[in-house]
Amino acid sequence: MNELVRVEDVSLSLPGQTPPPWALRHIDWRIERGEHCALMGDNGAGKSTLLRLLNGQCWPAEGRVVWNGPDGPEDAPLAGRAISALVSPALQENYQRQAWYISGRELVLTGFDDTPLLYTSSADERRQEAEALARRLDALPLLEALVPEMSQGQLRLLLLARALVRRPALLLLDECADGLDDQHRRLFFAELDRARQHSTIIMSTHRPEQLPDWCRLVRRVTAGRLLPPEPLERAGWMAAAALSPAPAPSPVPVTPPSPPDPDGEPLLDVQNATVFIDRKEILHAVNWQLRRGEHWRIVGANGSGKSTFLRMLAGDEFVADGGSIRRSLPGQGGQTVMLRDIRKGVRLVSDLSQALYGYSLDALELVCSGWDNTVGNYRDYSEEEVAQARAVMARLDCVTLAGKSIRRLSTGQLRRLFLARALLGGPDILLLDEPCSGLDEGSRRQYLALLDKLAGEGLHLVFVSHLPTDGPSCLNRTARMEGGRLHVVDGSAPAQTPLAAV
């Protein structure tokens, strides 16, 4: 093995705050070719910033980074971009915000030159390589789809293909498997096993159980500092810590949720609902009800329609003629068709809503926007409203972030803030789309414990996740989405023809 990257006493601060805080401090790291490594650490520790530094996206305030490419050692950031590829939540959010009408094929082909868009025609050899990779990832149909039409998991899969296609010397993966269903997660890690033959892989994760056997080193990032490496065999304390109960700041007894009421008026009543997006039918004749005391888990493969279903319930997608959705929201006075009432009584927390939140606010301002469920702030908030916002942030252990710009926070920190935002105003129904992605183990346990407590207080949950361990214990109904059709699979009265099992 020989040296690929050398990081020499690097300290780095991020702009946008006064005084600029240190995001990384006195980082020393020599990365040898073939020395694959996992980065672990709490939300906000600096893992994503460190990966961006290795990719050449950040300029050190102190120290330097040297990349050893085909032309020898260089310390220019462009040298880092030339030898490395990075897949991160930030990259995915950029494609979601821009909503470029490019095909999946074009997206993968941009990986050869590491450009956001395809600026030149691609040679047949490149097209064949992209298709072969997509075939191994079971993503061939996505090559013809448009990026704005893709689900979270489908877009993540193609971004991973984009990084793999040019075989970079250094492959940087930031929580890479989040949002992938079981099948595509297995296929991706199989492809990663092939890639390790020619790429040195550095991957951050909050889930040590997902680390492949060949990733032999673990390094922990704590408050911007990189701790010494440990062989995987000696890093058992990390896995043990991840599996141990996380201490909650203020333990509160959880009141069991009320049992389901099969005879009461449904809070949500969906009848024969079909949803089109850009003239493409995504949901097909869905029949479903949410009754008092019910808390649903929705499962299904990437692209099956789960996120569209949640957006329909929230009023962000409309039901085509011939179908209907009735909402009876106690907090809004009962049955309502007013979008203003729906936006207050039904709240959605998702990757997409986080990605499309385009205003540069501090964390407290972001949470306060939940009072009116607006993107941005359009009025002054009373002292009582601000105090309640801080109280909700305290329940999620994120009140210390109040004055920090949301553009400088980690994905996991933003996850907690968007839940706090959704809870303001006392909604009746909370829709959660992969809410645990990006959360460290302690935050994840605390997040789910709070959801259980909220269910005991009368809030109704509809929860989407690909991992069975990601979910509060209050979930008592299950449905599977397949090809835009919803099937109840928990043994209760079906919404449509039931499947055998989840």
Residue 335: pLDDT over 70: yes
380 is a domain residue: yes
168 is a domain residue: yes
Residues 50 and 144 in one domain: yes
Burial of 19 (0-12, 13-18, 19+ CB in 10 A): exposed
**pLDDT (mean) for 259-287:** 90
Query: Of the residues 220, 239, 258, which one is the last residue of a structural domain?
Result: 239
Contact residues for 75 (Cβ-Cβ < 8 A; gap 6+):
64, 65, 66, 67
pLDDT band at residue 216 under the 50/70/90 scheme: confident
Task: Please tell me the predicted confidence (pLDDT) of residue 209.
Answer: 86
Task: Please tell me the predicted confidence (pLDDT) of residue 250.
Answer: 39
Q: What are residue 250's DSSP bridge partners? A: none
Task: Please tell me the predicted confidence (pLDDT) of residue 254.
Answer: 56
257 is a domain residue: no
Residues 231 and 323 in one domain: no
Mean of all residue pLDDT scores within the chain: 89
Task: Please tell me the predicted confidence (pLDDT) of residue 230.
Answer: 84
Residue 497: pLDDT over 70: no
- Measure Cα distances from 299 to 146, 172, 177, 305, 483 in Å: 24, 29, 17, 10, 12
Q: What is the CATH number of the domain that holds 452?
A: 3.40.50.300
Residues 178 and 285 in one domain: no
Task: Please tell me the predicted confidence (pLDDT) of residue 121.
Answer: 87
19 is a domain residue: yes
502 is a domain residue: no
Residues 342 and 228 in one domain: no
CB 30 within 8 A of CB 3: yes
Query: Of the residues 239, 258, 292, which one is the last residue of a structural domain?
Result: 239
Residues 274 and 234 in one domain: no
| Enclosing domain of residue 464 | 268-488
**What are the tens digits of pLDDT across the range 293-330?**
999 999 999 999 999 999 999 999 999 999 999 999 99
Residues 137 and 284 in one domain: no
Contact residues for 356 (Cβ-Cβ < 8 A; gap 6+):
96, 97, 375
Residues 401 and 446 in one domain: yes
Residue 242: pLDDT over 90: no
Residues 347 and 410 in one domain: yes
Task: Please tell me the predicted confidence (pLDDT) of residue 237.
Answer: 42
Q: What are residue 324's DSSP bridge partners? A: 271
Query: Of the residues 191, 218, 239, which one is the last residue of a structural domain?
Result: 239
Residue 253: pLDDT over 70: no
253 is a domain residue: no
Residues 352 and 227 in one domain: no
Task: Please tell me the predicted confidence (pLDDT) of residue 336.
Answer: 92
**What are the tens digits of pLDDT across the range 110-158?**
999 999 999 988 889 999 999 999 999 999 999 999 999 999 999 999 9
Alpha-carbon torsion, ordered 80, 82, 86, 90, to 10 deg: 80
Ramachandran angles phi, psi of 364, nearest 5°: -65, -40
Residues 275 and 235 in one domain: no
Q: What is the secondary structure of 142-199 as a DSSP string?
A: GGGSBGGGS-HHHHHHHHHHHHHTT--SEEEEESTTTT--HHHHHHHHHHHHHHTTT-
Residues 10 and 151 in one domain: yes
* Token output for 319: 């039901």
250 is a domain residue: no
Residue 236: pLDDT over 60: no
**pLDDT (mean) for 465-484:** 93
Task: Please tell me the predicted confidence (pLDDT) of residue 1.
Answer: 54
Residue 53: pLDDT over 60: yes
256 is a domain residue: no
Burial of 234 (0-12, 13-18, 19+ CB in 10 A): exposed
The CA distance from 137 to 39, in Å, is 25
Total tally of structural domains belonging to the chain: 2
